[in-house]
Every structure is written in structure tokens, then in C-alpha cells.
Amino acid sequence: MVKKIDFYVDVIDNYWDLWFAINLLFIMLKNDLELEVRLFSNDEKLFKNMTQNNDNTKRVFYYDLSEINYFEPNKLIFNFFDRKIDFDFLKSKKYEIKLVNFTYFLMHKWVENLHLTSYSDKNINIVHFVPSLLENTGWILINKSETNYLKNDFIEYLNNKYSLNINLKFDKKYISIFVYKDTLNELLINLNQDKNIYFIFWYPDLDIKNDNIIVMPFIELQDYNNFLNICDINFVRGENSLISSLICWKPTLWDIYKEKNNAHIEKISDFINFLEKFGFEKDYFDLFIWFNMSNKFIFFDKFTNDFLDYNSKFQTISKYIINNCDAYEKIKKILN
């Protein structure tokens, strides 16, 4: 029997909200062959760029977010992320509806008290789902490649798929960079070293003429996840790419979004508290803090030079996350 579910995803200024939803789609559809999903969002081009020719999306039906009220809602709805819901519309239905409301990734200890809290309003049962690396929360999406690509094989695959011409240089470190624009501008002034190859992601319109800096096109989400796995070091910005990098145990430096209310200060503290149990020492925490709070390039350069010192620590984190933090195990209980 086909199981049907609705995804509601609002793309405002952060298209990685859609990334999380698609990542979850790939995991769910791969594990449940009877599942069909209607995805309501507001950027079909982005959806197609992220999924491209992925076979799993044959069971995904895309609709514009503005058209929600033209359809009978399914009995199970996933809403990303705390998007405002038209409860009057849902209450007008004669059947029970379960609405799973996903929050953004959080690391504050109090989120354990929020995860899976629920309440009912007429025919609607609302359940809060909190992605996090903390115990007693929703955990995170583990969409790890089943293929361990070698660098040369994967680069050749990308060259063919996206009509690229990336030349392999085995004596160089491969470093992926997906950071906020202000951070990137600060780094680009200094990225003129011959010892590394830098791959810039998600800014395909950059015009850079430097053999050691490769501006990548918009590649499919799963390809990006796999790309992080072949790199020696990853610089990431969003929580989705942070998790993808941690899963493949690569030394990672996180460019946290700088919020006007300084909430990122607390996020830095929360992440450090999480890392402490894996044996990280003060030097990494100093790099992580100052990369986010001070001169970017000084700490970027130091991290790329000292990254081997952190390899074993990130391997330990990866094993922990894969063995203990799979959100799909918790989401399956909601689906059943």
C-alpha cells in the first residue's frame, strides 16, 4: 500500500532549508519503496538543481507552495522549519492530521525538553521535531555515500556529469570552501598559495582566474556530500554541510552565521561543549572561535597547515555520529 506524505518547505533567504528536506527525502525514499511525497516549495529550479537525475525523485511530486490550499492535505505533513501554518484550512478537514513541525538544528541543552512535545487542536496533532547532536533529541540526517570514491574517480565522474575540466594534482591538498560571502571575500585576497587546490562552492558566478582556485557549478546535493568526502579539509557554513563534513570525518571549520542578536555566540559555545568529549584541545577551540570572531585568513591558514593534528579527533566524531545519531531511526517511528 502506497504511503503518502506532504512536505512544506519555504525558501526565503536560506535555500539550505530545501537541502535538509531533500536530504530527508533521499533517505526516506531509499528505505521505503512504498512512499510517495508531495513537496510544496517556492523554488522549482533550485529543487531540480539539487536533485537533477536522482532516481528517487520519481516518487516526488513538486508543487508551488502557494497552491497548498488547492489540494486535500495528506494525513501526515512535515513542515520545515517552524513555517507558519494555515490551521483554519487544516481544521476544515473531516479526518485526523499529524503535523510534524521541524525546527532548525539546535545544540542548546533545553532542546531536549522541546523535542517530541506535542499538542492537539481539533483534528490536528502537532509534534515538534528538533534536529541536534544532543542525546534525547531528533539527531541528524546521515546520508552517507555507499561508495567510497577515490579522488581521481570522483573528479572524473564530475568532469563527465557537469562538463568540467578539473585536472588532478595528487601532490596538492584538496580544500572545499562553502562559507558566507563576507568570509569568502576576506579569504580570496590571500588564496594564492601553490600548495593547495581550493574548490569554491555555491557561488558559481565568481570570476576568478587562478589555477589553484576552482569555482564549482551548482552540483546535485548528493554529489556535494560526496565531494566533501574526497577533500582533505572542509570549510562549511550551514548546519547541513557541517553535518555532511563531520560524517565523512574530515577536519572541518565552521563559519557560523553571525546573528544580530549575537545568538551565534551561544551556538559557538554549545558546539565547543559538544566537541570537548572527543578530546579536542584548546588550540582547535581557539581556531574555531577566532575564525568566527576575528581575522579569517590567519586562522584559515593555520588550520590548513595543522589539519593532520585533528584527523583522528574527527574520525572519532564521525564514528560517534554514525553509530548514535541517525535521525531516520526516530523519523521511522513517526512514519509507522
| Cα 232 off chain centre by | 19
44: domain CATH number?
3.40.50.720
Q: Are 278 and 319 in contact (CB under 8 A)?
A: no
Question: Is the same domain home to 180 and 308?
Answer: yes
Task: Specify the amino acid at residue 57.
Answer: T
Query: Would residue 144 count as lying in a domain?
Result: no
**Dihedral sign of CA atoms 146, 151, 154, 158 in order:** positive
Out of 20-29, 46-55, 94-103, 311-320, least confident range: 46-55
Question: Is the same domain home to 53 and 176?
Answer: no
Per residue in 137-148, pLDDT tens?
999 999 766 667
For residue 267, the enclosing domain spans 151-323
Q: How far apart are CA 138 and CA 326, in angstroms?
A: 8
Question: Is the same domain home to 260 and 315?
Answer: yes
Question: Is the same domain home to 207 and 95?
Answer: no
The pLDDT score that the predictor gives to residue 147 is: 63
The H-assigned helical ranges of 171-252 are 181-188, 221-230, 239-247
The pLDDT score that the predictor gives to residue 9 is: 96
For residue 90, report the phi and psi dihedrals to the nearest 5 degrees.
-70, -35
Identify the domain boundary among 90, 114, 138: 138
Question: Is the same domain home to 157 and 246?
Answer: yes
Per residue in 253-263, pLDDT tens?
999 988 877 77
Per residue in 110-139, pLDDT tens?
899 999 999 999 999 999 999 999 999 999
Q: How far apart are CA 214 and CA 197, in angstroms?
A: 8
Query: Would residue 220 count as lying in a domain?
Result: yes
Q: How far apart are CA 7 and CA 278, in angstroms?
A: 36
Question: Is the same domain home to 255 and 115?
Answer: no
The pLDDT score that the predictor gives to residue 146 is: 62
- Among residues 168, 175, 166, 205, the alpha carbon closest in space to that of 193 is found at 175
Q: For the residues 9-29, what does the mean pLDDT come to?
A: 87
Checking if the pLDDT of 156 tops 70, the result is yes
Q: Are 280 and 313 in contact (CB under 8 A)?
A: yes
Question: Is the same domain home to 113 and 181?
Answer: no
Question: Is the same domain home to 102 and 183?
Answer: no
Query: Would residue 145 count as lying in a domain?
Result: no
Question: Is the same domain home to 130 and 178?
Answer: no
For the chain, the domain total comes to 2
Checking if the pLDDT of 267 tops 90, the result is no
258: domain CATH number?
3.40.50.2000
Q: How confident is the model at residue 195 (pLDDT cuts 50, 70, 90)?
A: confident
- Among residues 206, 269, 196, 267, the alpha carbon closest in space to that of 237 is found at 267
Q: How confident is the model at residue 238 (pLDDT cuts 50, 70, 90)?
A: confident
Q: How far apart are CA 269 and CA 289, in angstroms?
A: 9
Query: Would residue 146 count as lying in a domain?
Result: no
Burial of 42 (0-12, 13-18, 19+ CB in 10 A): middle
Q: Are 85 and 100 in contact (CB under 8 A)?
A: no
Query: Would residue 330 count as lying in a domain?
Result: no
Query: Would residue 219 count as lying in a domain?
Result: yes
Identify the domain boundary among 138, 171, 191: 138
Identify the domain boundary among 89, 106, 138: 138
Question: Is the same domain home to 42 and 13?
Answer: yes
Q: How confident is the model at residue 178 (pLDDT cuts 50, 70, 90)?
A: very high
How many C-beta atoms lie closer than 10 Å to residue 313's C-beta? 17
Query: Would residue 186 count as lying in a domain?
Result: yes
The pLDDT score that the predictor gives to residue 294 is: 84
The pLDDT score that the predictor gives to residue 26 is: 87
Question: Is the same domain home to 130 and 155?
Answer: no
- The pTM assigned to this predicted structure is 0.90
Query: Would residue 271 count as lying in a domain?
Result: yes
Out of 145-159, 174-188, 201-215, least confident range: 145-159
Question: Is the same domain home to 178 and 212?
Answer: yes
DSSP string, 72-126: PPPSEEEEETS----HHHHHTSSS-EEEEEEPPP---TTHHHHTT-EEEETTEEE
User: How many alpha carbons lie under 13 Å from residue 86 in its C-beta half-sphere?
Assistant: 12
